[in-house]
Structure 1
Amino acid sequence: MMHKDRFSYLFKQYFQKKASPAERSEFMRMVHSAKYDQELEVLMDEYYENFQQQQSPFSAIEENRMLKAVLKAGNPTANVKLPAGRRMKLWARISIAATIALCMGTGFFTYRSYTYHKDQELAASMIRPGSNKARLVLSNGEVILLDTLKNGTQSLEAGIQLTKTKNGQLVYKISDQHSDRPSLIHTIETPKGGMYQLQLPDGTEVWLNAASSLKYSSVFKDKKREVTLSGEAYFEVAHRANQPFLVHTQDQVVEVLGTHFNISAYPDEEKQVTTLLQGSVKTSSKAAAVMLKPGQQSILNIKKEQLKLAEADIESVMAWKNGDFIFKDEDLASVMKKVERWYDVEVVFQDVDPSKIKLGGWVSRTKNISAVLKIIEPIAGIKIKIEGRRITVMK
């Protein structure tokens, strides 16, 4: 009984991302032993019990076959017995088992026509995950490639000092805060397959996701601190009671004094989403203006010109910054856009409507693209073909 209680504790710690390295290793050893398969099934049911139900495209028999295959990927000799009771959502049941199998360093599974051939494995192995890559464009047009910039401090235009720390962060400093230095406009841009962190002249911390850009002033002299964002970024704004911080996107403005929030505003997306973690923000568009409380998000539908409030899934929103992909009842179109940006690939759909396919799962963004595709392919019920950096999704 004591061992079962320990397994239950480690399970919850692991999937709430609270487990220490030692606890993670202990949990994986217990899973691999196959002694706790029954407890694992019960915990999987309990863990996802409150998730919103969705229609599975597979029969109960097919779902059980898939789950058996995933669990056996973690322990090929295990005798997996699945309860014949109520059906659980496809992605919830399978993705959690797939997470365990992947974390144990095993391969994945082959299910019916969802085969991952050796040539595909080789092609996938050539597509590495994104990393700290960005370029800084100064007001005079000079371009600095930040991933090749050496650590340390260097002087830029108009008395600006730029420091690149050991972990790759950029820190701005003005040599003389009281001088009449001109306020210059700088732009930091991340490519597909890149992300970056910087500290603005006012002390505000910004994390830029892939394929994003942030335009800002080298000196915040005006009554308002204003920046312009394209793409996705997480902000921890330095508090200045008499100088609000404004983030402009193509279709909205987010105003704060000092707070933590995430904005996703990619030009190729139909929605712009602002998620508040701490403090308060005001989101304004042509349609309306709303005030957010921690745990809420504003969703701007650009085509419909509608701005609404919703409860946020903070874990999913912040997954990119924390080094993960977390998909919860997300459509395939949205998932593959994230894959495109992080792995710098082109995704093409062939006889597939990605907006009608929902899926979920979790995998680290530090893994090669194969780890992500091996979760998506069987759960979404599609086939994936890799040719160079072109990913074709088909039935």
Structure 2
Amino acid sequence: MTEDRFSYLFEQHFIKKASNAEMEEFMHFIDSGNFDGQLEVLIDQYYGNFKPQQSPFSLALENKILNVVLNARPALKEIKVVVRKKLWANISVAASIVLCLGTAFYFYKINAYKKEQELAANFIGPGASKARLVLGNGKVILLDTLKNGMQAFEEGVEVTKTKDGQLIYNVSAQDKGEKSAINTIETPRGGQFQVSLPDGTKVWLNAATTLKYANAFKDKRREVMLSGEAYFEVAHRENQPFVVHTDKQEVEVLGTHFNINAYNDEETQVTTLLEGRVKTTSKSNVLLLKPGEQAVLNLNNNQLKMNNADLESIMAWKNGDFIFKDEDLASVMKKVERWYDVDVVFQDVDPKSIKLGGWVSRGKNISTVIKIIEPIADIHIKIEGRRITVMK
């Protein structure tokens, strides 16, 4: 009865009409090794229905493919020689016989693994517009759940959330004489947000970023503190310069568009100027930037140097993309970590020695990013929950 079942499953598989359940059952039969003799007989029977054709492959390539195929399961070695004599007589039969020789189970397992990984990856969606606001009075507001419209959370300060998710501050006239309170906006990993500061300056916050600022700029300088990455479009005030502080440097502007990447887990802090002028100051140096230039601060030696900037790559995150141009794998996977809120580990891989390039929308699930990175970097990526293992 079992032999009949095996014959039936073989036929269904051979004519490509087997259901998923039948396919799985057939693969388990083959993998058991108990049906090798019957498998050889069935192959002989079905082989007789085909007319010989010339193989399109060279003998060397045939042998290379065949060794991979027939070594898929050691239990099939007994029938390897028999099949070898016939396999390349007809390339049409080759595909079917290859599947029936346990290679089917080999590739079935690979495909099942890939499907499992694909399913796991599909559960890891892209980041979204989300952040939390900590007011000067200690009140915490989850901005992604905040209703659209104007609301007052502090005396003299009104906060408006627009339909496109932007946060706008309005400071009432009667509050002009009061001391400013310090507000904090924090985006988590997997989040980004846009805020319009009390002076009209617009700020886009990348994932895992913290921005601290006054709810009303009343001092000689408009000062904010940044950890992470943000793009600024600064409202012009001739006599009140805008200053961004990081833990290692200070960027001073009058009215300009620029991007600062100042993550604590990076080896550099990078200020890139798109429009206007800025002065970047570190412990070791002072640089004046022109549009298209960037100041790169090496955090290992506190050296500050100037480079020409690749604005397309720098601004990719704000424009909803990943763009990698000769970027090392370590840097790429840090961006993946922050945007998809995952933890990346490397196994027998030196991520700084692998360079890659490519483009993909940040709106795609992580599976799309992985499909691009794997072949370019010649690596394998395994997904377990929110843990990403990169290996050879």
TM-score, L = length of structure 1: 0.71
1:316 aligns with one of 313, 317, 325: 313
Alignment of 1:316-395 (within 5 A): 316-395=313-392
Query: Shift of residue 179 of structure 1?
Result: 3.3
1:243 aligns with one of 236, 240, 243: 240
* 2:130 match: 133
2:299 aligns with one of 298, 302, 306: 302
Query: Shift of residue 114 of structure 1?
Result: 11
Would you say 1:147 and 2:144 are equivalent positions?
yes
Rounded Cα–Cα distance in structure 2 between residues aligned with 1:263 and 1:178:
31
Asked whether the equivalents of residues 329 and 355 of structure 2 are also in contact (C-alpha less than 8 Å), the reply is yes
* 1:196 match: 193
Query: Shift of residue 116 of structure 1?
Result: 7.1
Asked whether the equivalents of residues 159 and 181 of structure 1 are also in contact (C-alpha less than 8 Å), the reply is no
2:220 aligns with one of 220, 223, 227: 223
Query: Shift of residue 181 of structure 1?
Result: 2.1
Rounded Cα–Cα distance in structure 1 between residues aligned with 2:278 and 2:292:
12
For the residue of structure 2 that corresponds to 1:119, the secondary structure is helix
Rounded Cα–Cα distance in structure 2 between residues aligned with 1:323 and 1:278:
20
Would you say 1:256 and 2:257 are equivalent positions?
no
Rounded Cα–Cα distance in structure 1 between residues aligned with 2:125 and 2:307:
35
Aligned in 2, Cα 1:179/1:275: closer, same or farther, shift over 3 Å? closer
Coordinate RMSD, CA, aligned: 1.5
Asked whether the equivalents of residues 328 and 361 of structure 1 are also in contact (C-alpha less than 8 Å), the reply is yes
Asked whether the equivalents of residues 224 and 243 of structure 2 are also in contact (C-alpha less than 8 Å), the reply is yes
* 1:23 match: none
Rounded Cα–Cα distance in structure 2 between residues aligned with 1:115 and 1:337:
29
Rounded Cα–Cα distance in structure 2 between residues aligned with 1:259 and 1:184:
25
* 2:262 match: 265
Query: Shift of residue 182 of structure 1?
Result: 2.0
Asked whether the equivalents of residues 252 and 286 of structure 1 are also in contact (C-alpha less than 8 Å), the reply is yes
* 1:274 match: 271
Aligned in 2, Cα 1:313/1:116: closer, same or farther, shift over 3 Å? farther
Asked whether the equivalents of residues 114 and 383 of structure 1 are also in contact (C-alpha less than 8 Å), the reply is no
Identity %: 71
Aligned in 2, Cα 1:373/1:269: closer, same or farther, shift over 3 Å? same
Would you say 1:118 and 2:115 are equivalent positions?
yes
Asked whether the equivalents of residues 114 and 382 of structure 1 are also in contact (C-alpha less than 8 Å), the reply is no
Rounded Cα–Cα distance in structure 2 between residues aligned with 1:115 and 1:314:
41
* 1:163 match: 160
Query: Shift of residue 291 of structure 1?
Result: 0.4
Rounded Cα–Cα distance in structure 2 between residues aligned with 1:314 and 1:354:
24
Query: Shift of residue 158 of structure 1?
Result: 2.6
Rounded Cα–Cα distance in structure 2 between residues aligned with 1:274 and 1:153:
34
Larger radius of gyration: 2
Aligned in 2, Cα 1:292/1:177: closer, same or farther, shift over 3 Å? farther
Query: Shift of residue 177 of structure 1?
Result: 6.1
* 2:179 match: 182
Rounded Cα–Cα distance in structure 2 between residues aligned with 1:394 and 1:198:
39
Asked whether the equivalents of residues 243 and 251 of structure 2 are also in contact (C-alpha less than 8 Å), the reply is yes
Query: Shift of residue 184 of structure 1?
Result: 0.3
Aligned in 2, Cα 1:321/1:198: closer, same or farther, shift over 3 Å? same
After TM superposition, what 4+ stretches of structure 1 lie above 4 angstroms from structure 2?
113-116
Alignment of 1:42-81 (within 5 A): none
Rounded Cα–Cα distance in structure 1 between residues aligned with 2:242 and 2:310:
24
Rounded Cα–Cα distance in structure 2 between residues aligned with 1:376 and 1:346:
16
Query: Shift of residue 140 of structure 1?
Result: 1.6
* 1:146-173 per-position Cα deviation (integer Å, ceiling 9, x unaligned): 0000000001213100000000000000
Amino acid at match of 1:291: L
Asked whether the equivalents of residues 133 and 195 of structure 1 are also in contact (C-alpha less than 8 Å), the reply is yes
Query: Shift of residue 212 of structure 1?
Result: 0.1
Asked whether the equivalents of residues 156 and 174 of structure 2 are also in contact (C-alpha less than 8 Å), the reply is no
* 1:49-99 per-position Cα deviation (integer Å, ceiling 9, x unaligned): xxxxxxxxxxxxxxxxxxxxxxxxxxxxxxxxxxxxxxxxxxxxxxxxxxx
Higher relative CO (CA 8 A, sep ≥ 6), structure 1 or 2?
A: 1
Aligned in 2, Cα 1:368/1:382: closer, same or farther, shift over 3 Å? same
